[in-house]
Structure 1
Amino acid sequence: MKKLVLSVTTGTLVTGGVIATVATGNASVPDVVCRGSTVTLSGEAGPPAATSGNFPVGTKLKVTNLDNGQATTVTVNGPSGSCVLLNNAAFDKVREPGKNLIRRARVERVGGGNAPATAASPSAAAGAQAPPATGQVVCPGSTVTLSGEAGPPAATSGNFPVGTKLKVTNLDNGQATTVTVNGPSGSCVLLNNAAFDKVREPGKNLIRRARVERVN
């Protein structure tokens, strides 16, 4: 009969003369956050960094693209409407060619900030160029970016079910578009390419001052 000897202090398991290493109570367990979130890019330049609506400035997040195994660790340097929104340099480290959206991502908090980030004040989203809201304003303080997906104008959302109609207004240029949610994402609203083109400013892949309204 084989004897099992477990050494708690060393984490060594001896079974039938074979030695194997086992996990002990002191093993480090990754702090996986924002489960189910998609990850996209802000279109902003600069060294690798991220913005987040969930974690304060200074938080270090490790983002892994589970479709290609590539990972990058970035520091949050500002707010956004997503769990994590990578700038161009950071996204290039994990992207698949031709894709601006990571649908299967793992986000881990690996250092810094334990408190939630403070969302921007709704009053900061008041733009003189934009008409008054006519629907229910939702996700105040959220930024809006694009998924990189093709097709007719549409959106994905982590806040509203498929079929919800959302009106997105870029308060910096007064342009607006109304889209229907056709799937899930990690953002309040994530526009596909056709929808984002209706409200974008030239050369920008991020709307920092956006108003989102639920219109049905």
Structure 2
Amino acid sequence: MKVQRKHVLAAGVAVVATAVVAVGTGFGFADTTSARPSLCSGSVTFSAEGGGPAATSDRFPVGTRLRVTNLDNGKVATVSVSGPSGSCVLLNAAAMDLVREPGKNVIRRNVVERVGVDAPVAPAPGETRPGAAQPPATQRPTPPATGVAAGRSACSGSVTFSAEAGAAAATSDRFPVGTRLRVTNLDNGKVATVSVSGPSGSCVLLNTAAMELLREPGKNVIRRNLVELVR
């Protein structure tokens, strides 16, 4: 009789545990990953743009609605693209405040999805989406900016920064690690030469130290800039 009671009790605990997991998942607590792959690779950061929640992008046309999810806290912001930038998605200040964690200027674990569109836009040149088969190394396309003519910027749109510490450096979605880039702020003439230390969701995303070398006081974005490869 005692053995039967133990079996009944164990079964009851298992049922309750299963129900708790199911409820947690239904409310978004047990699983924060999206069923669809992200349309942007790398981190999501922001500019100092004011106004209502919005974003700029180097691959989505103006008016495109995007849903940005911060996988670290489950917060979601749905924004419309208002113009071009040098990032796959660059949030403005209001949009970043909807999804950020306190004190953080970058969202590393994120999912970016189009709203109201079934088919995702084509990836940028040289981009490989999560889960997609990668071609052999000999067949991978050459990053498009390596042949940029002298005096022409290797990146289009604004340059912004992450909260990365350390010596002046940058991350990029198209330049390999070790590439040296010269970034010029055309509004004040300041120049910084940095090495790419890893991937991001921007053509060039400066760390804090690099941005401090170039920025104007109180500004988190460099709109008029020149990015050049250092040979």
**TM-score above 0.5:** yes
What is the CA deviation profile of residues 73-116 of structure 1, one whole-angstrom value per residue up to 9, with x for unaligned ones? 0011111010110011100111111111111110001147x888
Alignment partners' CA distance in 2, 1:111 and 1:166: 38
Taking the TM superposition and a 5 Å limit, the aligned residue runs for 1:1-216 are 32-34=38-40, 36-111=41-116, 137-216=152-231
1:147 to partner: Cα distance: 0.5
Percentage identity across paired residues of the two chains? 62
Conserved in 1, the CA contact under 8 Å of 2:70 and 2:100? yes
Superimposed CA distance per residue, residues 17-55 of structure 1 (whole angstroms, 9 cap, x where no aligned partner) = xxxxxxxxxxxx857412x23100102211111111111
CA contact 1:137–1:214 (8 Å) conserved in 2 = no
What is the SS of the residue equivalent to 2:214? coil
CA RMSD, 1 decimal = 2.4
- The SS at the match of 2:95 is helix
Equivalents in 2 of 1:66, 1:115: separation in Å?
22
Q: Distance in 2 between matches of 1:167 and 1:136?
A: 11
* Amino acid across the alignment from 2:180: K
The whole-number CA distance in structure 2 between the counterparts of 1:215 and 1:111 is 42
Distance 2:37 2:165 in 1: 33
Aligned-partner Cα distance in 1 for 2:207–2:230: 19
Amino acid corresponding to residue 72 of structure 1 in structure 2: A
Matched positions, count: 171
Deviation at residue 139 of structure 1 after TM alignment: 2.9
Aligned AA (1:82): S
1:131 maps to none
Q: Could you state the TM-score of these two structures normalised by the residue count of structure 1?
A: 0.72
Give the Cα separation in 2 of the matches to 1:98 and 1:64: 18
Contact 2:155 2:204 in 1 (8 A): no
Deviations 1:130-185 (A, max 9, x none): xxxx9674534231001122111111111111111100001111111000111110
- Whole-angstrom distance in 2 between the partners of 1:148 and 1:71: 21
In structure 2, how many angstroms separate the alpha carbons of the residues matched to 1:100 and 1:68? 14
Distance in 1 separating the partners of 2:207 and 2:70: 20
